[in-house]
Amino acid sequence: MSTDPRAEIIRAEGVTKRFKGLVAVDNVSFVLREFDVAGIIGSNGAGKTTFFNLLTGYYPPDEGRILFKGQDVTAMPPEQRVDLGMMRTFQLTATFDSLTVVDNLVLSYVRAYEKPSLPALFFRTCRSRRHHPKVVETLETFDLGHLRDRVVKNLSLGEKRRLEIAMSILAEPALLLLDEPLAGLAETEIRMLLDVLKARVGRQTILIVEHKLSHVQDFLQRLTVMHEGRVIAEGPCEECLRHPEVRRSYWQIATEAGEGEAVS
Ligand SMILES: Nc1ncnc2c1ncn2[C@@H]1O[C@H](COP(=O)(O)OP(=O)(O)OP(=O)(O)O)[C@@H](O)[C@H]1O
């Protein structure tokens, strides 16, 4: 029994997911508490994205269960989990590409705070919320002001990813899940995004799947390392990276992250 007084945000209990003969996630248990900022790493095919998909409801587990803020959500579809406060980004971005940047932010704001009917969302509410302080502040924080009226399909990958994360943070979800948020970004964009994420530490519960461990290591409080569907190490980053099985299975990424001495 844990003595940590912080509220539990998400708990996975012995979850397993099989694809035909392949066990993609193998009996994984995992807990995140309020304001934890945690990362999941693992080599290609380790099961990270499948585990994300189990947490967020894109797949039902074959075994085990998922609890969100104490509620069993194992059979709940993704959109209902979003309504409960679980928000994720994707490796490939998920934005409304035929709308402008500001209208994407407005949709995120309205969905999170006003929950209108769909026609109201598009025809009435949007225009009147373009100057809402939360929307304006988010444009500034994410350096999206100059792109405010740009149609999203004309943005670069980095700009789109920034927008997607801005949309998620604007909604202030109880749990923010980021699937490789830095993939495909230039160094300056990475630095900008990391500054925004660091500013959320202590204010938001965040789970990040990220290959570029060196970038996120200094603000992750906890790391979970997966290999062939299993959790092989969990705890503070340095401790995990010293773990013998991690050193065996994960040395390429650890080396990329500047951990060459520790794992050679
Ligand atoms: N829909 C699916 N159907 C069949 N097999 C799948 C499916 N999704 C994932 N897999 C397999 O499950 C295993 C885990 O994949 P997953 O994408 O979760 O790993 P990952 O750690 O996220 O890898 P990467 O870092 O390459 O994204 C892999 O062997 C993959 O081929």
Q: What is the pLDDT of residues 56-104, one digit of tens each?
A: 999 999 999 999 999 999 999 998 998 898 988 766 566 788 889 998 9
Q: What is the pLDDT of residue 1?
A: 60
- Residue 149 CB neighbours (<10 A): 10
52 touches 177 (CB < 8 A): yes
Which of 89-93, 126-130, 170-174 has maximum average pLDDT? 170-174
pLDDT value at residue 246: 84
Task: Map tokens 């502040």 to a residue.
Answer: 137
C-alpha 49 – ligand 1 centre gap (Å): 7
Nearest CA to ligand 1 atom 11: 24
Query: Structural domain tally of the chain?
Result: 2
Structure-block tokens of residue 146: 């100059």
Q: Is residue 123 assigned to a domain?
A: yes
Phi-psi region of 228 (alpha: psi -120 to 50; beta: other; left: phi over 0): left
Q: Give φ, ψ of 224 to 5 degrees.
A: -120, 130
- Taking 60 as the threshold, does the pLDDT of residue 261 lie above it? no
Number of CB atoms found within 10 A of residue 177's CB? 23
Q: Which of 109, 171, 174, 170 is nearest to 140 (CA)?
A: 170
Taking CA atoms only, the protein residue closest to ligand 1 atom 4 is 19
Q: Is position 90 within any domain? A: no
Q: What are phi and psi of 30, to 5 degrees?
A: -160, 140
Residue of the CA atom closest to atom 5 of ligand 1: 19
Q: Report whether pLDDT(3) > 80.
A: no
Please, which pLDDT band fits residue 262 given cuts at 50, 70 and 90? very low
Does 187 fall in a domain?
yes
Q: Are residues 164 and 178 in the same domain?
A: no
Q: Domain limits at 112?
A: 95-172
Residue with tokens 């519960």, as numbered in its chain: 205
Please report which confidence band the pLDDT of residue 154 belongs to, taking 50, 70 and 90 as the band edges: very high
The whole-angstrom separation of Cα 82 and Cα 124 is 23
Task: Let me know if residue 65 belongs to a domain.
Answer: yes
In the reported structure, the alpha carbon of residue 44 is separated from the centroid of ligand 1 by a whole-number distance in angstroms of 8
Last residue in a domain, options 148, 172, 196: 172
Give me the pLDDT at residue 176, please. Answer: 92
Q: Worst-scoring range by mean pLDDT, 39-43, 49-53, 116-120, 225-229?
A: 116-120
In this prediction, does ipTM exceed 0.95?
yes
**Residue 177 and residue 54 in one domain:** yes
CB of residue 19 inside a 6 A radius of ligand 1: yes
**Looking at the structure, do residues 70 and 103 belong to the same domain, yes or no?**
no
- Is 257 a residue whose pLDDT tops 60? no
For residue 216, what pLDDT band results from cuts at 50, 70 and 90?
confident
pLDDT confidence of residue 195: 86
Boundary (domain end) residue, out of 152, 172, 192:
172
134 vs 1, 207, 217, 240, 250, CA distance in Å?
A: 40, 23, 29, 38, 41
In a domain, 183, yes or no: yes
Claim to verify: residue 197 and residue 114 sit in the same structural domain: no
From 15, 28, 49, mutation site for ligand 1 pocket: most ligand atoms within 8 A of C-beta: 49
Per residue in 16-38, pLDDT tens? 999 998 999 999 999 999 999 99
Distances (CA, A) of 118 to 121, 122, 151, 161: 5, 7, 21, 25
**Highest-scoring range by mean pLDDT, 25-39, 114-128, 229-243:** 25-39
C-beta 14 within 6 A of ligand 1: no
Q: CATH number of the domain at 58, please.
A: 3.40.50.300
Q: What percent of the chain has pLDDT over 70?
A: 86
Ligand 1: does its nearest atom lie under 6 Å from the Cβ of 48?
Answer: yes
Domain boundary among 135, 156, 172: 172
